[in-house]
Amino acid sequence: MRTITRLALLTCLLVMLLAPVNGYPGSQTSTALQPPWTNNGDLTLNTGCTCHGAGAPSVDVVISVSGVPRAYELDKTYNFTITLQHASNAEGGFILWDYGAGTFEVAEGVEMILDGTTETGGIGHTVPGNDWVVNWTAPASDVGEIHFSMAGNAVDGLEGANAGDAWNLLSFTSSAPGTATAEDNDSLATKTVSVGDYQSLFVTEKDPEALEAERQEGLALSYFEMGNIYFWSTLSILLIAAVLQGEFYERRFGGGPTHLDISIAVPQGILKGVVSLGLLIIFGWAWDSGQAWGTLLVLGMLTLWGGYSTYRIIAQAQAPANDMDLV
């Protein structure tokens, strides 16, 4: 008798330990797969599935519901086809609620959502999937416009909620009876509503060889650009060094700049000074506007050359006149 009691207690303990592992937090059904009705003190339909993904809605999750009546007819049953799509997460779940206006029906793959032991009137999935059919019956009396809220969660298949999951929220309405234009075609009496970015569903993984070729092309372009920078920068430095060397040798061994008559020096100095100032203004504009390095290098060298030419005119005008023996 004591052995049987111990086995019974051990079995109950194992059931209690394993039950939370198989389902979502807040599960109330025997399958332990029902999504939670509330989240952090608010409806999951309002907050979203914040335990999953980045904690915020993702446009990569596309939720669509077809068969929604533009204007519901009293006590009529409509078939909602729900689809949940994501580029990499193939399955997930949903919660849908009409705020108690109509009635959802339990069917294969869907069941009524509980809040504790209380019926909420909302409906959700029983097992993860990506498409469901939900029957919804409109109210027997006119209650005005009916609002629907839905949360869809696309999971990556790993154990528990994690960053690889993604979710989104969808809200839509059905107008009161008689408020929509009657159409001869019955299909126009219903509509399809959706949320999410359909383009994200077509993201494909690039071929490794293509990625490597793209990387090699980027490296080649980088080497070409850097090679040009090094070459032209080095050439500019050599030109500046050659000018400075010429100045040094002229003053050390050549007696300094040759004399230039003032009547010639003044107009040339004004002209070259104005040109140099204009080049300096253009260089400043190019620097502030973020022009290409090649443009900055050319303008910088021209500005330096203009400034050096102006300096040479001033230096020659100040140099003493030397009589030259022409005999």
In angstroms, the CA 230 to CA 78 distance is 72
154 and 36 within one domain:
yes
Average pLDDT over residues 83-88: 91
In the 3-class helix/strand/coil scheme, how is the chain assigned residue by residue?
Answer: CHHHHHHHHHHHHHHHHHHHHHCCCCCCCCCCCCCCCEECCEEHHHHCCCCCCCCCCCCCCEEEEEEEECECCCCCEEEEEEEEECCCCCEEEEEEECCCCCEECCECCEEEEEECCEEEEEEEECCCECEEEEEEECCCCCCCCEEEEEEEEEECCCCCCCCCCEEEEEEEEEECCCCCCCCCCHHHHEEEEEECCHHHHHCCCCCHHHHHHHHHHHHHHHHHHHHHHHHHHHHHHHHHHHHHHHHHHHHHHCCCCCCCCHHHHHHHHHHHHHHHHHHHHHHHHHHHCCCCHHHHHHHHHHHHHHHHHHHHHHHHHHCCCCCCCCC
User: Which pLDDT value is given to residue 78?
Assistant: 96
Residues 128, 25 share a domain? yes
Lowest mean per-residue pLDDT among 17-21, 235-239, 304-308:
17-21
In a domain, 270, yes or no: yes
Confidence of residue 184 (pLDDT cuts 50, 70, 90): very low
Question: Does 213 share its domain with 86?
Answer: no
pLDDT above 90: residue 73: yes
Asked whether residue 155 falls in the same domain as residue 282, the answer is no
pLDDT given at position 168 = 92
What mean pLDDT do residues 201-214 have? 72
Instruction: Compare 301 and 18 and report the one with higher pLDDT.
Output: 301
Model confidence band, residue 323 (pLDDT cutoffs 50, 70, 90): low
Q: Could you tell me if 72 and 100 lie in one domain?
A: yes
Is residue 232 domain-shared with residue 298, that is, in the same domain? no
Domain identity same for 107 and 161: yes
Residue 128: which CATH number? 2.60.40.10
- pLDDT of residue 4 exceeding 70, the answer is no
* Band (203; pLDDT cuts 50, 70, 90): low
Number of structural domains in the chain: 3
| Domain of residue 312, residue span | 257-320
In a domain, 212, yes or no: yes
Enumerate the β-bridge partners of residue 83: 64, 131
Residue ending a domain, among 223, 238, 255, is: 255
* 276/250 same-domain check: no
pLDDT for the residue 5 = 47
- The overall average pLDDT reported for the chain is 83
Read off the pLDDT of residues 274-320 as tens digits, 9 standing for 90 and up.
999 999 999 999 999 988 888 888 999 999 998 998 998 898 888 88
- The domain boundary residue, chosen from 255, 272, 287: 255
Q: Which of 202, 217, 246 is the endpoint of a domain?
A: 202
Q: In this structure, is residue 134 part of a structural domain?
A: yes
Check: pTM over 0.75? Answer yes or no: no
Domain assignment of residue 261, yes or no: yes
Confidence of residue 3 (pLDDT cuts 50, 70, 90): low
Give yes or no: residues 291 and 180 share one domain: no
User: Do 51 and 126 share a structural domain?
Assistant: yes
Indicate if 153 and 300 belong to the same structural domain.
no
Query: Does 38 reside within a domain?
Result: yes
Residue 2 pLDDT > 60, yes or no? Answer: no
In a domain, 291, yes or no: yes
Question: Is 326 inside any structural domain?
Answer: no
Task: Answer yes or no: do 43 and 164 share one domain.
Answer: yes
Q: Is residue 96 part of a domain?
A: yes
Amino acid at 255: G
